[in-house]
């Protein structure tokens, strides 16, 4: 594999571009430049962005344990959303 950029987590030159994010092939750290526009999003409208109110919020990456990174292709708003709670989860019992 070609030499990548320096990973901010492990320091190795193994930080490779994966389209709309970058991932370290050594430690699996995931990151992205904050102001860089995203590329490679799916066709059609996305969800409504809570910041700019456009339907351009798309899933970019699914992390372990079901967390989803979503990013707006209009304003670059970025969110990491937790997975939905499991049925019977005590967090769902809100009185």
Q: What does the pLDDT look like over 32-61, one tens digit per residue?
A: 665 555 555 655 678 888 788 888 888 888
Whether the predicted model's global pTM rises above the 0.75 cut: no
User: Would you say residue 2 lies in a domain?
Assistant: yes
Residue 93 pLDDT greater than 60, yes or no: no
Q: 40 with 74, same domain?
A: yes
> In the chain, pLDDT over 90 holds for what percent of residues?
0
Q: Please report the DSSP string for 16-48 in residue order.
A: EE-SSSEEETTT--EE--TTSPP--PPSS--BP
Q: 80 and 38 in one domain? A: yes
- The answer to whether residue 92 is domain-embedded is no
Q: Let me know whether 21 and 51 are in one domain.
A: no
95 lies in a domain? no
* Domain residue limits at 63: 34-87
């Amino acid at each position: 594999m070609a030499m990548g950029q320096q990973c901010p987590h492990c320091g190795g030159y193994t930080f490779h571009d994966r389209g709309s994010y970058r991932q370290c092939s050594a430690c699996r750290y995931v990151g992205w430049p904050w102001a860089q526009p995203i590329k490679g999003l799916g066709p059609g409208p996305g969800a409504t962005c809570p910041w700019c109110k456009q339907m351009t919020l798309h899933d970019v990456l699914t992390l372990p344990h079901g967390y989803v990174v979503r990013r707006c292709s209009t304003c670059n708003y970025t969110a990491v959303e937790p997975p939905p709670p499991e049925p019977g989860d005590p967090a769902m019992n809100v009185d």
